[in-house]
Structure 1
Amino acid sequence: MASRTEPPDSEPSGSATGVSVRPPLLRELLLVAGLFLVYKAGRQVADGHVAEAFRNAHRVWDLERDVRLPGEGAVQSLLLHGETAVHLANTYYAVVHFPATVAFLVWLYLRRPAHYVWSRRILALLTGAALALHLAFPLAPPRLLGAAHLVDTGRIYGPTVYGARPSSDTMANQFAAMPSLHFGWALMVALGLIAATRTRWRWLWLLHPAVTLLVIVGTANHFWLDALVATALLGIALAVVPSPARRARTRAKAGSAPPTGSGVPPVPAGSGSSPVPAGAVGRRHGLVGARR
């Protein structure tokens, strides 16, 4: 049953003017796959800075305590009350991240092409900035930091996506904790769906990044600051890449403005009068002269 507040096959009002053109599927598949492979390769290039990653982890831990952020252990202690809860958190961390983002992009591609292009650009920019930060600031996660006194829930309770020896893990770079793309992508998924839909329930999508935040902190895979930095980078990307609604407003303003050099003077707001056509003043003076 179609929602009363959202047409089933159209972009939300104000999202675009005219027909939204869906990009070629093959090009998009190659583009997204290429971006993913570049990112994975870049994360492996950023690997190997073990000593620096642990020094940075101590700095982040001390900074969080200096600014009085709550300890990550407060969240983890809630999970450790029951094995089922911690197992679900580990599963959410391991399973939901990529499939949710892929499903988000596929749905936008099929149903909201304009929002798909916008979201894909945002995610690419966010991921590229994250990769640059991984190279510049390698960071060990709190589960590997002895001073944090946190449990590596993935290794003890399972499931886990990481190898037993972080320094020799060929599947993932375990020293790329900042920023948290788990949280950054989840937040973009929620914001993208809120922007692309008009149902009154769309704000519930914010539960996805909220749960993700609790999961990444509770499983000790990320510091609070990892999520804060991801949020800041996403905010910059959103400011740089115009949304479909902003592009539509820009086109509407450009379409309503008189062309440059048309001779039509601007009408003061609220005047209620129409602009005087070019040449009308001269014709009026000609009539007056004839009467004389």
Structure 2
Amino acid sequence: MAARTEPSARASGDAPARRRPPAPPARQSAARPPLLRELLLVAGLFLVYKSGRLLANGHTGEAFRNARHVWDWERFLHLPGEGLVQSLLLNGDGLGDWLVRTANTYYAAVHFPATVAFLVWLYLRRPAHYVWARRTLAAVTAAALVLHLAFPLAPPRMLGEPGLVDTGQVYGPTVYGAAPAADTMANQFAAMPSLHFGWALMVAIGLIAATRSRLRWLWLLHPLLTLLVIVGTANHYWLDSLVASALLGLALAALRWAWPTASGAGRARRSVPSDRVALAGAGR
């Protein structure tokens, strides 16, 4: 009888408990890339993009022909007219010109600083997420540059459609010159895709992936507000944002191998209960 009870005693925990092998280190704790290298890399990518956009400038006739095509495609797809959103900005009850000027300011001042702040925060707090986000943004921007060169597109504010005005020029502030051909700072015929929306959507996705707060889904308000602003100011078509979303989806799929894994803290929280069980079994 004693020989029979011995295995059961061991099974009940008298034998030393087997400890699970330590979990592999989370990629969240990956080494932070060298700061100088990242600054040079990001600055170089930005300069290449700006230079490439300017190469597409000057294709006035083609840009306006493409604009008519996009406008017709949107009507064929039964998308709402861009003037619908703009009318809400221009006819805000009791708000006067404040609403449309706020939209112009958002378009001019939030797009680039918000993306830079996003990358800086990831670099300091989430290095693995930073590398993933930087690669994704670079891929989307490169694809957008190719499309800007291949498909110059005049924005809806230039079409002269009834109900559409250039809110930047009329109400201010604006980031564009009055004459597109004479604008040496930006290519006004690079409407598709909208990097305003594509970058905003990536910022929201990156912050949702890198944080654990229950309120993190509110970051989606950034691309939603950006969409209303770019359409309401007549700087972009609805299709510009749809194409930007498609490019971002392709970039995320192509860089799936670079996706950050769960954070180290999350893994630690999941491993603590099993470690406690093992230690408790060893002490019995």
TM class, shorter-chain normalised? 0.7 to 0.9
8 A contact 2:31–2:127 mirrored in 1: yes
The answer for unaligned runs of 5 or more in structure 1 is 1-12, 249-292
Partner of 2:134: 120
**Map of 1:170-249 to 2, 5 A cutoff?**
170-242=184-256, 243-245=259-261
Instruction: Output the amino acid matched with 1:178.
Output: M
Separation in 1, partners of 2:208, 2:228: 21
8 A contact 2:156–2:234 mirrored in 1: yes
Partner of 1:288: none
Q: CA RMSD in A?
A: 1.9
Partner of 2:44: 34
Select 1:23's aligned residue among 23, 33, 37.
Answer: 33
Separation in 1, partners of 2:211, 2:67: 40
Select 1:110's aligned residue among 116, 120, 124.
Answer: 124
What SS does structure 1 have at the residue aligned with 2:161?
A: helix
State the Cα distance separating 1:79 from its structure 2 match. Answer: 0.1
Partner of 1:266: none
Separation in 2, partners of 1:14, 1:225: 44
8 A contact 1:86–1:157 mirrored in 2: yes
Stretches (4+) displaced over 3 A:
13-19
Instruction: Output the amino acid matched with 2:260.
Output: P
Select 2:70's aligned residue among 50, 60, 69.
Answer: 60
Partner of 1:80: 90
Higher relative contact order (CA 8 A, sep 6+): 2
**Map of 1:134-149 to 2, 5 A cutoff?**
134-147=148-161, 149=163
Q: Which protein has the bigger helix share?
A: 2
- Percent of aligned positions that are identical: 75
State the Cα distance separating 1:234 from its structure 2 match. Answer: 0.2
TM-score, length of structure 1 as denominator length: 0.78
Structure 2 CA distance for partners of 1:146 and 1:49, relative to 1, 3 Å: same
Deviations along 1:138-170, whole A, 9 cap, x unmatched? 000000012354110000000000001011111
Partner of 1:278: none
The answer for unaligned runs of 5 or more in structure 2 is 1-22, 265-284
Separation in 2, partners of 1:14, 1:205: 30
Instruction: Output the amino acid matched with 2:172.
Output: G
8 A contact 2:28–2:260 mirrored in 1: no
What SS does structure 2 have at the residue aligned with 1:147?
A: coil
Deviations along 1:30-62, whole A, 9 cap, x unmatched? 000000000000000011100000000000000
Structure 2 CA distance for partners of 1:48 and 1:172, relative to 1, 3 Å: same
Partner of 1:150: 164
8 A contact 1:142–1:148 mirrored in 2: no
Deviations along 1:108-164, whole A, 9 cap, x unmatched? 000000000000000000000000000000000000012354110000000000001
Separation in 1, partners of 2:197, 2:226: 6
Separation in 2, partners of 1:15, 1:159: 49
Separation in 2, partners of 1:17, 1:153: 46
Partner of 2:279: none
TM-score, length of structure 2 as denominator length: 0.80
Partner of 1:276: none
**Map of 1:253-264 to 2, 5 A cutoff?**
none
Separation in 2, partners of 1:96, 1:51: 31
8 A contact 2:27–2:261 mirrored in 1: no
Q: Which moved more, 1:145-154 or 1:230-239?
A: 145-154
Structure 2 CA distance for partners of 1:14 and 1:40, relative to 1, 3 Å: farther
